[in-house]
Amino acid sequence: MRINKYIASAGICSRRKADELIEQGRVKVNGAVLREPGFDVSEGDLVLVDGKPVTGSERFVYYALNKPAGYVTTTSDEMDRPTVMELMTEVSARVFPVGRLDYETTGLLIMTNDGDLANHITHPSKKVFKTYLAEIDGEISLGQAEQLRRGVDIGGYTTRPAQVEILKQAGHSKVRISISEGKNRQVRRMFKAVGFNVVSLQRISIGRVLLGHLHEGHYRRLTAEEVDYLKNC
Ligand code: URA
């Protein structure tokens, strides 16, 4: 089996991420750093990732984390900022975040060691709606909300149709917005396109998986129904 698939099916990370680990020299096969991304693993080969053996025996696990502001959504950070990994205190499996939330964004993040599920949810062809509560620095008009619904230019790219509901308008506004794609800083750039800065941003759902009353910095296991839904959405 090709090395990236072997690492992904052991539940360590996605295939794409496995390719990166190989490139970074973090994968060894039978004692030597692997330099060949297309390597085929045979029975009896000893594969190490960051010095730890890949046994294929890890079970898949799935969590919902309520990410606080001030954490990066990566497994390690060059600038030494806190990572979401540090919040998964009681989880021994090598989970990783599915998709990204900005450093300042709070809310629902799925953490798993199932690389195929991660690829499935984040694939650009998927149209799972992710819903956010955004506080913005001004009063949004019905016309501007309609522009967001139809799609706005966020710098050479026009966003897909979105669902937008104004929840509060008093000097600043609170808006619920659902988008079916995940361009970098998309919600912030969408509001910028109609003239506002996002003051705070919280993701409250990914498809039918809800953040609910999970406290910031806490996590829970996804239910079997939620995992099933995500695998088939
Ligand atoms: N859109 C953003 O602008 N930021 C996020 O973290 C998620 C969606």
Tens digits of per-residue pLDDT, 17-42?
899 999 999 999 999 999 888 999 88
**Residue 64 near residue 218, CB atoms below 8 Å:** no
What six digits make up the tokens of 141?
């008009």
Give 56's pLDDT tier (boundaries 50, 70, 90). Answer: low
What's the pTM value of the predicted model, to 2 decimals?
0.79
Q: Is 167 exposed, middle or buried (0-12, 13-18, 19+ CB in 10 A)?
A: exposed
What six digits make up the tokens of 233?
């959405």
In this structure, the residues whose C-beta lies within 6 A of any atom of ligand 1 are 101-102, 105, 185-188, 201
Question: Atom of ligand 1 at shortest distance to CA of 130?
Answer: 8
The predicted-structure confidence for 110-153, as pLDDT tens digits, reads as follows 999 998 899 889 887 888 999 999 999 999 999 999 999 999 99
Residue 152 Cα to ligand 1 middle (Å): 15
- Amino acid at the residue 224: A
Report all structural domains of the chain as residue ranges with CATH numbers, in order of start: 3-53 (3.10.290.10), 62-124+212-232 (3.30.70.580), 130-206 (3.30.70.1560)
Residue among 228, 225, 205 at smallest CA distance from 110: 205
Residue 88 Cα to ligand 1 middle (Å): 22
Residue 227 Cα to ligand 1 middle (Å): 23
Tell the residue nearest (CA) to atom 3 of ligand 1: 185
Percent residues over pLDDT 70 in the chain: 99
Q: Is the predicted pLDDT of residue 210 greater than 80, yes or no?
A: yes
Give 76's pLDDT tier (boundaries 50, 70, 90). Answer: confident
Q: Is the predicted pLDDT of residue 69 greater than 70, yes or no?
A: yes
Give 58's pLDDT tier (boundaries 50, 70, 90). Answer: low
Q: Is the predicted pLDDT of residue 57 greater than 60, yes or no?
A: no
Which of these is catalytic: 19, 77, 102, 116?
A: 102
Give 53's pLDDT tier (boundaries 50, 70, 90). Answer: confident
Catalytic site includes residue 77: no
Question: Atom of ligand 1 at shortest distance to CA of 100?
Answer: 6
* DSSP-derived 3-state class of residue 20: helix
Q: How many CA atoms lie within 13 A of 211 on its CB side?
A: 20
